[in-house]
Amino acid sequence: MSRRILIIEDEPHIVMGLRDALEFEGFGVLSASLGRDGIALAQAESPDAIILDLMLPDMNGYAICEAIRAVSGTVPIIMLTARSQETDKIRGLDAGADDYVTKPFSVNELIARIRAIFRRSVRAPPMGVDPQLIQIGDARINLGAHTVQRNGAEEQLSFYEVELLKLLSQRVGQAVGRDEILQKIWGLGASPSNRTVDNFIVKLRRKIEKSSDRPSHILTVYGFGYKLVP
């Protein structure tokens, strides 16, 4: 059965362009032009990924993202933002988006990101075969269930947070370059202005470290990348 992508966007020409391109790639496409319809579709249809516009007539994208996260902790969400300010992107990531694309965007790049998401989720072993538990400090992480337990509380990890942890935990104690992370996880070429990896590291530290400002497990290797010291 083909993977289904839900597009939540009110600009018809963008929906049309994305629908054509995604269907050409063999994906099924659902779409909604209002936030509340998008949330209802996300809940009723369980799409495999969601493309969410930040600016919609009835609700803002952050609120939609949070509402979808409340019912589906793990579906990959890519946010479309018309603005290029870094704060919008970080706010979107905080609301639970996995990635963002700034308008005007290249449909091909967006599709490349979606394909990369699905390539990786196919590679992951089925749940139950390998519980995929890792311990980092006092945080106990289940990579299969996308959860982190700490101090008696459980939090969800997003798709990209899990992918980052998988990559870093395969190379414990070794520095992993930012460019390599960007390429392997997001399927993107290196760009000095791309802060995607850093933004996700910030989010992971908040969930795993005792003090996210003074991390003792997910360490920065200045001018290069990151290193995991469990």
* Total count of residues recorded for the chain: 230
Q: Which is nearer to Ca ion, 88 or 163 (CB)?
A: 88
Of 47-55, 105-113, 161-169, 199-207, the segment contacting Ca ion by CB under 5 A is 47-55
Q: Which is nearer to Ca ion, 54 or 197 (CB)?
A: 54
Q: Quick check: 198 binds Ca ion (CB under 5 A)?
A: no
**What is the separation of C-alpha 43 from the centre of its chain, rounded to a whole number of angstroms?**
18
Q: Which is nearer to Ca ion, 12 or 131 (CB)?
A: 12
Q: Contact 206/157 with Cβ under 8 angstroms?
A: no
Number of residues located near Ca ion, criterion CB under 5 A: 3
Q: Contact 24/59 with Cβ under 8 angstroms?
A: no
Read off φ and ψ for residue 127, nearest 5 degrees.
-65, 145
CB 9 to Ca ion: min, Å: 6
Q: Distance between CA atoms of 42 and 54, rounded to whole angstroms?
A: 16
Q: Which is nearer to Ca ion, 103 or 150 (CB)?
A: 103
Of 6-14, 35-43, 84-92, 109-117, the segment contacting Ca ion by CB under 5 A is 6-14
CA-based nearest residue to 185, from 177, 193, 68, 49 = 177
Of 10-18, 58-66, 99-107, 114-122, the segment contacting Ca ion by CB under 5 A is 10-18
CB 51 to Ca ion: min, Å: 12
- Of residues 21, 30, 34, 55, which one binds Ca ion by CB under 5 A? 55
Q: Supply the angle between the helices 35-45 and 61-71 in degrees, to the nearest 10.
A: 20
Q: Quick check: 53 binds Ca ion (CB under 5 A)?
A: yes
Site map for Ca ion, 101-130, x if CB under 5 A? ------------------------------
Q: Which is nearer to Ca ion, 10 or 179 (CB)?
A: 10
Strand, helix or coil for residue 108: helix
Q: Contact 175/221 with Cβ under 8 angstroms?
A: yes
Q: Distance between CA atoms of 109 and 99, rounded to whole angstroms?
A: 12
Binding site for Ca ion (CB under 5 A): 10, 53, 55
